[in-house]
Amino acid sequence: PVQAPGETFSFTGKVTCTDASLVKYGWSVDEGEKVWTDAAYYEVALTAAGVHTLTLDVFYGDEDKGLAGTVPFLVTSPDVYVIDPALNPGHVPVYPYSTPEGAAIDLQEAVQCARSGTTVHVGPGVHGVSRPLELVGAVRLVSDEGRDKTVIHQTATGGLENRCVHLNDPGALLDGFALTGASGDPYGIAACIDAGGGRILNCIATNNVTGAK
C-alpha cells in the first residue's frame, strides 16, 4: 500500500487455527514496540516518508508461534506548490502547501518543508530568496511555465555564497528557471552542484556577479 503522510494504513491478519479466541496478534512497525491485541486488525498513521515495514507475531494459547509475516508499505512525499503573491493578491497559503489551492507564497519556505523525493511546483513570477535554496535531498524544483516566466532572484548582495540554488544530492533537480541577482566565486555563481550531485535543466543565468576568490 501507498499513502501520503498522516493517512491511516489498515492491515488485517489471518491465522488458521482451531480456536480463534486463543490467538493474540502482535503488531509492530519498523521493529518498534509491539502492540498485542485480540483483534486481527491494525491501523497505523505515519508522517515520515519512505518505505516502512509492518511485522506480525502470533501467540496461540500460551505458545509463542513467532513471526507470522512482514508487509512493506510506502509513505509518499506529497508535492509542494508555490506561487508569486504579487500575481495572486489575497491568496491564503495552507501548510503543508500540498495543493495548488493552498500553495505557499514564499519559495524559501516551500523548499524547506519539502521532503526528499518531493517535487516543488513553482508558478510564474519573480520569487525572491535571501539565501541559497538548498536542494540537499532528492527535491525536484520545477517551474510550471518555464524560464521565460519564472525567475529566482537572489536579494542578498555581496559575498561569495549568495547563489540562487545549491544542489547536493543525485536526485536533486532544478528545471526551468531564470536565475538572477546572485554573487559568488567563479564556480557556480547562480547555481552550484556540489559533490553530492544533482541536475540543472532548461535554466538561464543572467545579471549575476562574479566575486573574487
Of residues 51 and 105, more confidence is placed in 105
For position 162, what pLDDT does the model report?
Answer: 87
pLDDT in tens, 185-213: 766 689 999 989 999 999 999 998 886 54
Pairing of strands 150-154, 173-175: unpaired
Sign of the alpha-carbon torsion through 35, 53, 4, 116:
positive
pLDDT in tens, 121-162: 999 999 999 999 999 888 999 999 999 999 999 998 766 678
Grid coordinates of 154? 537572489
CA angle 183, 123, 186 (to 5 degrees): 15
Q: What share of the chain in percent tops pLDDT 70?
A: 92
- pLDDT bucket at 46, cuts 50 / 70 / 90: confident
Over residues 174-179, the mean pLDDT reads: 98
CA distance 113 to 169: 17
Q: What share of the chain in percent tops pLDDT 90?
A: 64
The answer to whether the CB of 73 falls within 8 A of the CB of 9 is yes
102 has a pLDDT exceeding 60: yes
